[in-house]
Structure 1
Amino acid sequence: SKYKAGTSLSAWIRRIMINTAIDYYRKRSRKRTEDLETAYSLSSSAPDIVSQMSANEILECLQQLTFAYRSVFNLYVIEGYSHREVSEQLGITESTSRSNLVKARTKLKAIILSKKL
Protein backbone atom coordinates (compact mmCIF):
# COMPACT_ATOMS: atom_id res chain seq x y z
CA SER A 1 0.00 0.00 0.00
CA LYS A 2 1.01 3.61 -0.44
CA TYR A 3 2.09 6.01 2.25
CA LYS A 4 -0.54 8.63 3.04
CA ALA A 5 0.71 12.08 3.90
CA GLY A 6 -0.09 13.11 7.44
CA THR A 7 0.16 9.59 8.89
CA SER A 8 3.04 8.16 10.87
CA LEU A 9 5.87 7.18 8.53
CA SER A 10 7.43 4.86 11.13
CA ALA A 11 4.12 3.03 11.67
CA TRP A 12 3.72 2.58 7.89
CA ILE A 13 7.27 1.20 7.54
CA ARG A 14 6.77 -1.10 10.55
CA ARG A 15 3.54 -2.47 9.01
CA ILE A 16 5.37 -3.17 5.73
CA MET A 17 8.13 -5.00 7.62
CA ILE A 18 5.63 -7.06 9.60
CA ASN A 19 3.64 -8.00 6.49
CA THR A 20 6.84 -8.91 4.63
CA ALA A 21 7.97 -11.13 7.51
CA ILE A 22 4.57 -12.83 7.69
CA ASP A 23 4.63 -13.50 3.92
CA TYR A 24 8.16 -14.89 4.17
CA TYR A 25 7.26 -17.32 6.97
CA ARG A 26 4.09 -18.43 5.18
CA LYS A 27 6.08 -19.27 2.05
CA ARG A 28 8.72 -21.05 4.08
CA SER A 29 6.07 -23.05 5.95
CA ARG A 30 4.52 -24.23 2.66
CA LYS A 31 7.96 -25.20 1.35
CA ARG A 32 8.69 -27.25 4.48
CA THR A 33 5.39 -29.10 4.14
CA GLU A 34 6.18 -29.92 0.51
CA ASP A 35 9.69 -31.07 1.47
CA LEU A 36 8.31 -33.32 4.21
CA GLU A 37 5.78 -34.87 1.84
CA THR A 38 8.52 -35.52 -0.73
CA ALA A 39 10.84 -37.00 1.89
CA TYR A 40 8.07 -39.30 3.13
CA SER A 41 7.26 -40.57 -0.34
CA LEU A 42 10.95 -41.17 -1.04
CA SER A 43 11.58 -42.95 2.25
CA SER A 44 8.57 -45.22 1.92
CA SER A 45 9.41 -46.44 -1.59
CA ALA A 46 13.23 -46.41 -1.63
CA PRO A 47 13.88 -49.51 0.57
CA ASP A 48 11.85 -51.76 -1.74
CA ILE A 49 13.69 -50.46 -4.78
CA VAL A 50 17.13 -50.81 -3.17
CA SER A 51 16.47 -54.45 -2.27
CA GLN A 52 15.92 -55.16 -5.98
CA MET A 53 19.15 -53.47 -7.11
CA SER A 54 22.48 -55.16 -7.74
CA ALA A 55 25.60 -54.06 -5.85
CA ASN A 56 26.95 -52.47 -9.05
CA GLU A 57 23.77 -50.44 -9.52
CA ILE A 58 24.00 -49.17 -5.95
CA LEU A 59 27.68 -48.27 -6.42
CA GLU A 60 26.83 -46.39 -9.62
CA CYS A 61 24.27 -44.36 -7.69
CA LEU A 62 26.78 -43.62 -4.92
CA GLN A 63 29.31 -42.43 -7.52
CA GLN A 64 26.84 -39.76 -8.63
CA LEU A 65 27.05 -38.05 -5.23
CA THR A 66 29.51 -35.20 -4.82
CA PHE A 67 32.82 -36.12 -3.21
CA ALA A 68 31.84 -34.38 0.05
CA TYR A 69 28.49 -36.19 0.31
CA ARG A 70 29.93 -39.54 -0.76
CA SER A 71 32.80 -39.28 1.74
CA VAL A 72 30.52 -38.58 4.70
CA PHE A 73 28.03 -41.24 3.58
CA ASN A 74 30.74 -43.90 3.22
CA LEU A 75 32.42 -43.13 6.54
CA TYR A 76 29.22 -42.84 8.56
CA VAL A 77 26.86 -45.38 6.97
CA ILE A 78 29.20 -47.98 5.51
CA GLU A 79 32.26 -47.76 7.79
CA GLY A 80 30.27 -46.99 10.95
CA TYR A 81 32.22 -43.96 12.15
CA SER A 82 30.58 -41.38 14.43
CA HIS A 83 30.03 -37.81 13.22
CA ARG A 84 32.89 -36.72 15.48
CA GLU A 85 35.23 -39.24 13.84
CA VAL A 86 34.01 -38.32 10.35
CA SER A 87 34.59 -34.64 11.06
CA GLU A 88 38.12 -35.32 12.31
CA GLN A 89 39.02 -37.45 9.30
CA LEU A 90 37.63 -35.01 6.75
CA GLY A 91 38.59 -31.79 8.52
CA ILE A 92 35.01 -30.54 8.77
CA THR A 93 32.72 -29.72 11.69
CA GLU A 94 30.34 -32.27 13.17
CA SER A 95 27.38 -30.19 12.04
CA THR A 96 28.73 -30.19 8.48
CA SER A 97 29.06 -33.96 8.69
CA ARG A 98 25.44 -34.28 9.79
CA SER A 99 24.24 -31.84 7.15
CA ASN A 100 26.16 -33.58 4.37
CA LEU A 101 24.78 -36.95 5.47
CA VAL A 102 21.19 -35.71 5.28
CA LYS A 103 21.85 -34.17 1.87
CA ALA A 104 23.62 -37.32 0.66
CA ARG A 105 20.71 -39.53 1.70
CA THR A 106 18.17 -37.22 0.08
CA LYS A 107 20.18 -37.02 -3.14
CA LEU A 108 20.81 -40.77 -3.17
CA LYS A 109 17.11 -41.54 -2.77
CA ALA A 110 16.30 -39.20 -5.64
CA ILE A 111 18.97 -40.83 -7.83
CA ILE A 112 17.73 -44.34 -7.03
CA LEU A 113 14.09 -43.44 -7.63
CA SER A 114 14.89 -41.74 -10.94
CA LYS A 115 16.72 -44.86 -12.14
CA LYS A 116 13.92 -47.22 -11.16
CA LEU A 117 10.83 -45.24 -12.11
Structure 2
Amino acid sequence: MLFSRALKTLPELLEGCLRNDRKCQELLYKQFYGYAMGVCMRYVPNRDEALEVVNDGFLKVFQKVQMYDADKPFKAWLKKVMINTALDFYRQNVKFQNHDDISSIENTAVASESQSAYSQLEYNELIGLIQQLTPSYRAVFNLYVIDGYSHEEIAQKLGISEGTSKSNLARARENLRSMLLKKGNDEYARVTR
Protein backbone atom coordinates (compact mmCIF):
# COMPACT_ATOMS: atom_id res chain seq x y z
CA MET A 1 0.00 0.00 0.00
CA LEU A 2 1.39 3.39 -0.98
CA PHE A 3 1.49 6.26 1.52
CA SER A 4 -1.04 8.21 -0.57
CA ARG A 5 -3.54 5.40 -0.01
CA ALA A 6 -2.95 5.80 3.75
CA LEU A 7 -4.82 9.13 3.58
CA LYS A 8 -8.25 7.73 4.29
CA THR A 9 -11.67 9.32 4.59
CA LEU A 10 -13.28 9.68 7.99
CA PRO A 11 -15.63 6.71 7.44
CA GLU A 12 -12.65 4.56 6.44
CA LEU A 13 -10.71 5.67 9.53
CA LEU A 14 -13.66 4.92 11.80
CA GLU A 15 -14.16 1.53 10.18
CA GLY A 16 -10.47 0.80 10.76
CA CYS A 17 -10.80 1.90 14.39
CA LEU A 18 -13.67 -0.56 14.79
CA ARG A 19 -11.23 -3.28 13.70
CA ASN A 20 -8.58 -1.93 16.15
CA ASP A 21 -6.35 -1.00 13.19
CA ARG A 22 -3.48 0.94 14.85
CA LYS A 23 -2.69 2.91 11.69
CA CYS A 24 -6.30 4.13 11.42
CA GLN A 25 -6.28 5.05 15.10
CA GLU A 26 -3.05 6.99 14.62
CA LEU A 27 -4.41 8.83 11.58
CA LEU A 28 -7.67 9.69 13.36
CA TYR A 29 -5.68 10.95 16.36
CA LYS A 30 -3.47 13.13 14.16
CA GLN A 31 -6.41 14.48 12.19
CA PHE A 32 -8.40 15.56 15.27
CA TYR A 33 -5.62 16.20 17.79
CA GLY A 34 -5.72 20.00 17.41
CA TYR A 35 -9.48 20.15 17.79
CA ALA A 36 -9.45 17.86 20.84
CA MET A 37 -6.59 19.83 22.43
CA GLY A 38 -8.55 23.06 21.94
CA VAL A 39 -11.53 21.60 23.78
CA CYS A 40 -9.42 20.18 26.62
CA MET A 41 -7.31 23.32 27.12
CA ARG A 42 -10.45 25.10 28.29
CA TYR A 43 -10.91 22.63 31.15
CA VAL A 44 -7.42 22.15 32.56
CA PRO A 45 -4.82 24.65 33.75
CA ASN A 46 -1.91 23.65 31.52
CA ARG A 47 -0.87 21.93 28.31
CA ASP A 48 0.57 18.83 30.01
CA GLU A 49 -2.72 18.05 31.73
CA ALA A 50 -4.62 18.83 28.51
CA LEU A 51 -2.44 16.31 26.68
CA GLU A 52 -3.24 13.72 29.34
CA VAL A 53 -6.97 14.39 28.91
CA VAL A 54 -6.69 14.27 25.10
CA ASN A 55 -4.91 10.93 25.23
CA ASP A 56 -7.45 9.51 27.70
CA GLY A 57 -10.24 10.87 25.50
CA PHE A 58 -8.89 9.24 22.36
CA LEU A 59 -8.52 5.98 24.24
CA LYS A 60 -12.25 6.21 25.02
CA VAL A 61 -12.98 7.07 21.38
CA PHE A 62 -11.12 3.95 20.22
CA GLN A 63 -12.80 1.76 22.83
CA LYS A 64 -16.29 3.10 22.13
CA VAL A 65 -16.16 3.99 18.44
CA GLN A 66 -19.05 1.58 17.84
CA MET A 67 -21.26 3.99 19.85
CA TYR A 68 -20.70 6.81 17.32
CA ASP A 69 -23.81 7.53 15.22
CA ALA A 70 -22.58 8.07 11.66
CA ASP A 71 -25.67 10.18 10.91
CA LYS A 72 -24.34 12.88 13.23
CA PRO A 73 -21.17 14.97 12.95
CA PHE A 74 -18.10 13.19 14.29
CA LYS A 75 -16.67 16.40 15.76
CA ALA A 76 -19.73 16.85 17.97
CA TRP A 77 -19.36 13.31 19.33
CA LEU A 78 -15.61 13.77 19.80
CA LYS A 79 -16.21 17.06 21.63
CA LYS A 80 -18.64 15.36 24.00
CA VAL A 81 -16.14 12.56 24.69
CA MET A 82 -13.37 15.09 25.35
CA ILE A 83 -15.55 17.20 27.67
CA ASN A 84 -16.64 14.15 29.63
CA THR A 85 -13.03 12.98 29.86
CA ALA A 86 -11.95 16.42 31.10
CA LEU A 87 -14.71 16.31 33.71
CA ASP A 88 -13.58 12.84 34.79
CA PHE A 89 -10.05 14.23 35.15
CA TYR A 90 -11.43 17.14 37.14
CA ARG A 91 -13.36 14.86 39.50
CA GLN A 92 -10.30 12.63 40.01
CA ASN A 93 -7.86 15.45 40.68
CA VAL A 94 -9.74 18.27 42.36
CA LYS A 95 -11.74 18.53 45.51
CA PHE A 96 -14.63 20.96 45.30
CA GLN A 97 -13.03 23.57 47.54
CA ASN A 98 -14.78 26.59 46.07
CA HIS A 99 -18.44 25.68 46.27
CA ASP A 100 -20.67 28.43 47.47
CA ASP A 101 -24.41 28.49 47.35
CA ILE A 102 -26.12 31.06 45.14
CA SER A 103 -27.76 32.66 48.17
CA SER A 104 -24.37 34.03 49.24
CA ILE A 105 -23.82 35.80 45.92
CA GLU A 106 -25.09 39.31 45.30
CA ASN A 107 -26.22 40.15 41.80
CA THR A 108 -23.57 42.27 40.19
CA ALA A 109 -24.02 44.37 37.11
CA VAL A 110 -21.56 43.95 34.32
CA ALA A 111 -19.56 47.13 34.04
CA SER A 112 -19.45 48.68 30.61
CA GLU A 113 -15.66 48.69 30.67
CA SER A 114 -15.74 44.92 31.32
CA GLN A 115 -17.95 44.41 28.29
CA SER A 116 -15.60 46.39 26.09
CA ALA A 117 -12.65 44.45 27.51
CA TYR A 118 -14.40 41.17 26.67
CA SER A 119 -14.97 42.29 23.11
CA GLN A 120 -11.31 43.23 22.66
CA LEU A 121 -9.89 39.91 23.81
CA GLU A 122 -8.42 37.46 21.40
CA TYR A 123 -9.26 33.80 21.79
CA ASN A 124 -5.88 32.81 23.22
CA GLU A 125 -5.98 35.60 25.78
CA LEU A 126 -9.44 34.50 26.88
CA ILE A 127 -8.35 30.87 27.19
CA GLY A 128 -5.34 32.01 29.23
CA LEU A 129 -7.61 33.93 31.61
CA ILE A 130 -10.07 31.03 31.88
CA GLN A 131 -7.19 28.71 32.77
CA GLN A 132 -6.35 31.00 35.70
CA LEU A 133 -9.76 30.35 37.28
CA THR A 134 -9.99 27.78 40.04
CA PRO A 135 -10.83 24.30 38.70
CA SER A 136 -14.44 24.36 39.90
CA TYR A 137 -15.09 27.86 38.48
CA ARG A 138 -13.35 26.93 35.22
CA ALA A 139 -15.41 23.74 34.77
CA VAL A 140 -18.75 25.46 35.37
CA PHE A 141 -17.83 28.47 33.22
CA ASN A 142 -16.79 26.27 30.28
CA LEU A 143 -19.79 23.98 30.52
CA TYR A 144 -22.30 26.82 30.78
CA VAL A 145 -20.86 29.65 28.68
CA ILE A 146 -18.87 27.85 26.02
CA ASP A 147 -20.48 24.43 25.70
CA GLY A 148 -24.09 25.42 26.42
CA TYR A 149 -24.99 23.05 29.24
CA SER A 150 -27.79 24.06 31.65
CA HIS A 151 -27.17 24.43 35.38
CA GLU A 152 -29.19 21.26 35.91
CA GLU A 153 -26.95 19.31 33.52
CA ILE A 154 -23.81 20.80 35.09
CA ALA A 155 -25.01 19.84 38.56
CA GLN A 156 -25.54 16.26 37.42
CA LYS A 157 -22.18 16.03 35.63
CA LEU A 158 -20.18 17.50 38.52
CA GLY A 159 -22.20 16.08 41.41
CA ILE A 160 -23.07 19.52 42.82
CA SER A 161 -26.30 21.42 43.39
CA GLU A 162 -27.77 23.78 40.80
CA GLY A 163 -27.26 26.63 43.26
CA THR A 164 -23.58 25.80 43.51
CA SER A 165 -23.34 25.74 39.73
CA LYS A 166 -24.95 29.18 39.52
CA SER A 167 -22.73 30.48 42.30
CA ASN A 168 -19.57 29.17 40.67
CA LEU A 169 -20.59 30.73 37.36
CA ALA A 170 -21.24 34.11 38.99
CA ARG A 171 -17.90 34.01 40.78
CA ALA A 172 -16.08 32.87 37.64
CA ARG A 173 -17.52 35.80 35.72
CA GLU A 174 -16.60 38.21 38.50
CA ASN A 175 -13.04 36.81 38.63
CA LEU A 176 -12.74 37.16 34.85
CA ARG A 177 -14.01 40.76 35.05
CA SER A 178 -11.39 41.53 37.68
CA MET A 179 -8.63 39.91 35.63
CA LEU A 180 -9.74 41.87 32.55
CA LEU A 181 -9.78 45.16 34.42
CA LYS A 182 -6.36 44.43 35.91
CA LYS A 183 -5.05 43.46 32.49
CA GLY A 184 -6.42 46.71 31.05
CA ASN A 185 -4.86 48.76 33.86
CA ASP A 186 -1.51 46.97 33.46
CA GLU A 187 -1.50 47.63 29.72
CA TYR A 188 -2.43 51.28 30.28
CA ALA A 189 0.41 51.68 32.80
CA ARG A 190 2.86 50.11 30.33
CA VAL A 191 1.82 52.47 27.53
CA THR A 192 2.01 55.63 29.67
CA ARG A 193 5.58 54.96 30.86
* Higher share in helix: 1
* One-letter code aligned to 1:71: A
Structure 1 gaps, min length 5: 1-34
* One-letter code aligned to 2:167: S
**Number of equivalent positions:** 80
* One-letter code aligned to 1:98: K
Per-residue Cα deviation, 1:23-60 (whole angstroms, up to 9, x for no partner): xxxxxxxxxxxx87xx44x5221111121121111111
CA positional deviation for 1:83: 0.4
Matched with 1:95 is: 163
Matched with 1:62 is: 130
- Please report the TM-score for the alignment, with normalisation by the length of structure 1: 0.63
Structure 2 gaps, min length 5: 1-105, 186-193
* Greater C-alpha radius of gyration: 1
Q: 2:160, 2:140 → 1: CA distance? A: 10
Q: 1:57, 1:70 → 2: CA distance? A: 15
What CA RMSD, in Å, does the superposition of the two structures yield over aligned residues? 1.6
Matched with 2:153 is: 85
Off by >6 Å, runs of 4+ in structure 1: none
Pairing 1:113–2:188 present: no
Matched with 1:48 is: 116
Structure ranking higher on relative contact order (CA contacts 8 Å, 6+ apart): 1
- Please report the TM-score for the alignment, with normalisation by the length of structure 2: 0.39
